[in-house]
């Protein structure tokens, strides 16, 4: 093998080793971006009675946010507070971009609800749109829960097909028609037998 051939083979091997296929996908070339937020003052009001509690520790949370064709994660620092009231023993502050205990930012939730209620997309199409535009993967169950929390409902079933209830009704109707046709045939056959006997 000549020197130039060996060099070409080495280049191809190096390219292949990057992702195992010889090509670098678009998604792998997109880097994640992190945005930092903090809401952990020394004292913070109780969410129920507004009596201020004292911070006992800080906590880091990560929330997926919305940005076109880019992965964005909000890294938030919040405080855990010991309450001076009878509402609770401890409570936690929040960052304005996300509600407490959620994995996604409020902007992600708003966009998903908008796609279902305003653009009339099915749950599956919403999942595809969020993945293609924002590189975010969301389960159908999560979409359903967000709509339920907002008191909204999709314009059509989640799968884009007719509901199972209507399918069962049509099937029952067909079964009823088939049963009536069989019974009618039996009656006609019995009448023919009676005429032949007479």
CB atoms within 10 A of CB 146: 19
pLDDT tens figures, 105-161? 999 999 999 999 999 999 999 999 999 999 999 999 999 999 999 887 765 555 544
Q: Which residues contact 69 (CB under 8 A, 6 or more apart)?
A: 30, 133, 134, 135
The residue assigned the tokens 């019974």 is 183
pTM for this predicted structure: 0.61
Alpha-carbon distance of 64 to 73, in angstroms, equals 5
Say which residue, 6 or 49, is predicted with more confidence.
49
Q: 93 is in which domain, residue-wise?
A: 29-98
* 171 confidence band (pLDDT: 50, 70, 90): low
Residues in the chain: 198
The residue assigned the tokens 């056959």 is 189
Answer yes or no: do 45 and 84 share one domain. yes
User: 71 lies in a domain?
Assistant: yes
Answer yes or no: do 126 and 73 share one domain. no
pLDDT tens figures, 32-87? 799 999 999 999 999 999 999 999 999 999 999 999 999 899 999 999 999 999 99
User: 59 lies in a domain?
Assistant: yes
Answer yes or no: do 93 and 46 share one domain. yes
User: 81 lies in a domain?
Assistant: yes
CB atoms within 10 A of CB 22: 11
User: 2 lies in a domain?
Assistant: no
Answer yes or no: do 122 and 147 share one domain. yes
Answer yes or no: do 85 and 120 share one domain. no
Domain boundary among 73, 98, 123: 98
Decide if 51 contacts 90 (C-beta within 8 A).
no
Alpha-carbon distance of 52 to 42, in angstroms, equals 10
User: 172 lies in a domain?
Assistant: no
Alpha-carbon distance of 128 to 87, in angstroms, equals 43
Name the domain count of the chain: 2
Do strands 90-92 and 72-82 pair parallel, antiparallel, or not at all (unpaired)? antiparallel
> For 160, left (φ over 0), alpha (ψ -120 to 50), or beta?
left
Answer yes or no: do 134 and 108 share one domain. yes
Answer yes or no: do 65 and 116 share one domain. no
């Amino acid at each position: 093998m000549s020197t130039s051939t060996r060099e070409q083979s080495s280049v191809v091997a190096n390219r292949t080793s990057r992702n195992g296929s010889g090509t670098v996908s678009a998604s792998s070339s997109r880097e994640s971006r992190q945005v930092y937020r903090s809401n952990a003052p020394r004292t913070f009001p109780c969410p129920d009675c507004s009596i201020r509690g004292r911070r006992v520790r800080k906590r880091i949370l990560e929330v997926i946010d919305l940005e076109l064709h880019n992965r964005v994660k909000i890294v938030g620092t919040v405080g855990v507070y010991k309450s001076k009231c009878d509402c609770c023993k401890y409570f936690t502050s929040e960052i304005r971009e996300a509600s407490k205990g959620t994995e996604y930012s409020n902007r992600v939730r708003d966009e998903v609800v908008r796609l279902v209620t305003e653009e009339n997309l099915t749950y599956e199409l919403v999942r595809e749109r969020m993945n293609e535009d924002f590189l975010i993967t969301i389960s159908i169950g999560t979409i359903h829960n967000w709509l339920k929390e907002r008191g909204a409902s999709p314009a059509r079933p989640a799968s884009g097909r007719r509901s199972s209830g209507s399918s069962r009704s049509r099937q029952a109707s067909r079964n009823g028609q088939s049963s009536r046709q069989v019974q009618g045939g039996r009656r006609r056959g019995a009448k023919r037998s009676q005429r032949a006997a007479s």
